[in-house]
Amino acid sequence: MSDIDMIRAARARIGDNLRRTPLLSAPALDDIAGRRVLLKAECLQITGSFKARGGWSAVSAIAPEIRARGVIAFSSGNHAQGVAHAAREHGVPAVILMPKDAPRAKIDGTRALGAEVVLFDREQDDRDAMGAELAQARGLTLIKPFDDALVIAGQGTLGLELAAQAASRGIAEAEVLVCCGGGGLTSGVALALEADAPGLRARSCEPEGFDDVARSLAAGEICRNDRLSGSICDAIVTPQPGNLTFPILKRLCGPGLVVTEDEVLRAMALAFRHLRVVIEPGGAVSLAAALFHPEALGSDTVIAVATGGNVDPALYARALETLPETMA
């Protein structure tokens, strides 16, 4: 079970190996939201997402003689790069199983981090069997994307960082909006804030149609999504909250927030214009909630965590078209 001590230990293992991402703001965003909005720009993290934290936490916690054999992960995106980065920096091999139809840039990006990418066919191959065979044959340790205490602890380091940043600005009360897939980041941040900034409360944010966490929180028990594809917010589409993460979410987070895809695209464009950071759709759900859902918010200050910035340029261009006018 994850707890604050595990999060502090993860922070110590991470040390200066990852970035302390900035808290940004702009008067224009405050005007839109009708309250003070701060953006935790985690899209500027190494590998472009918070997944570098959980990856480092998990890889660094493996006993050296086991770790030397290598690690393995399944991912078509941010978790792949987080684990690949941590493995490379620890000087151990990483094997990442990616679907053949994963974005070329993400495959290249994972390879550029030194990982061995094994491609599988979503239709024909049994991904889990392939992974188990590889892990068995080579003695690789599996790093799960969210339902793992060490991964949750790593993501929780973002919460410790945020608690300190809020304190240095004199912010004692705020809602902290977190883009939520399986709940690894949201639950880790919630635990960290409970300990270090009890006036700050983590809340999950999801896109419409993939709101398993919001429905689970409302029902008091784990609910599944009907669909698993068809969202622009691919990075945070998961079947259901995790068995480790949900009890934490249930205890510490209020009702979940849900936004539309149009709101997500507009939030990406407003971050481009007013904060000059690139946010991917799955990472902009939180900012969309902060800007466009005043009815669901209760605090004078909201902190939106922009969880990632790895986005297809064509989709990004589409987001920019939502800006009311061009500057040319």
The DSSP-derived string for 167-206 is HHTT---EEEEEE-SSSHHHHHHHHHHHHH-TTEEEEEEE
Should residue 315 be labelled a site residue for its own copies when binding is judged by CB under 8 A? yes
Is 50 or 246 the residue whose CB approaches its own copies more closely? Answer: 50
For residues 71 and 60, the answer to whether their CB atoms sit within 8 Å is: no
Stretch that binds its own copies, among 51-59, 155-163, 210-218, 319-327 (CB under 8 A): 319-327
Should residue 310 be labelled a site residue for its own copies when binding is judged by CB under 8 A? yes
The CA distance from 305 to 41, in Å, is 7
Structure tokens at 249: 């979410």
Site string for its own copies, 77-116 (x = CB under 8 A): --------------------------xxxx--x--xx---
Should residue 325 be labelled a site residue for its own copies when binding is judged by CB under 8 A? yes
The CA distance from 292 to 29, in Å, is 11
The radius of gyration of the chain from alpha carbons, rounded to an integer in Å, stands at: 19
Structure tokens at 198: 């009890």
Structure tokens at 254: 């209020």
Should residue 22 be labelled a site residue for its own copies when binding is judged by CB under 8 A? yes
Should residue 273 be labelled a site residue for its own copies when binding is judged by CB under 8 A? yes
Structure tokens at 313: 């340029």
Least distance (Å) between residue 161 CB and its own copies = 14
Binders of its own copies: how many residues, by CB under 8 A?
41
Structure tokens at 78: 């941010």
Should residue 36 be labelled a site residue for its own copies when binding is judged by CB under 8 A? no
For residues 213 and 241, the answer to whether their CB atoms sit within 8 Å is: yes
Should residue 328 be labelled a site residue for its own copies when binding is judged by CB under 8 A? yes
Is 299 or 322 the residue whose CB approaches its own copies more closely? Answer: 322
Least distance (Å) between residue 253 CB and its own copies = 27
Is 44 or 142 the residue whose CB approaches its own copies more closely? Answer: 44
Is 191 or 277 the residue whose CB approaches its own copies more closely? Answer: 277
The CA distance from 30 to 18, in Å, is 29
User: Residues 150 to 189: which contact its own copies by CB under 8 A?
Assistant: none
For residues 158 and 305, the answer to whether their CB atoms sit within 8 Å is: yes
Exposure on the CB side of residue 19, measured as CA atoms within 13 A: 16
Least distance (Å) between residue 318 CB and its own copies = 9
Should residue 316 be labelled a site residue for its own copies when binding is judged by CB under 8 A? yes
Should residue 272 be labelled a site residue for its own copies when binding is judged by CB under 8 A? yes
For residues 39 and 271, the answer to whether their CB atoms sit within 8 Å is: yes
Which residues contribute to the site for its own copies (CB under 8 A)?
Answer: 19, 22, 24, 27-28, 31, 41, 43-44, 48, 103-106, 109, 112-113, 269, 272-273, 275-279, 309-317, 320-321, 323, 325-328
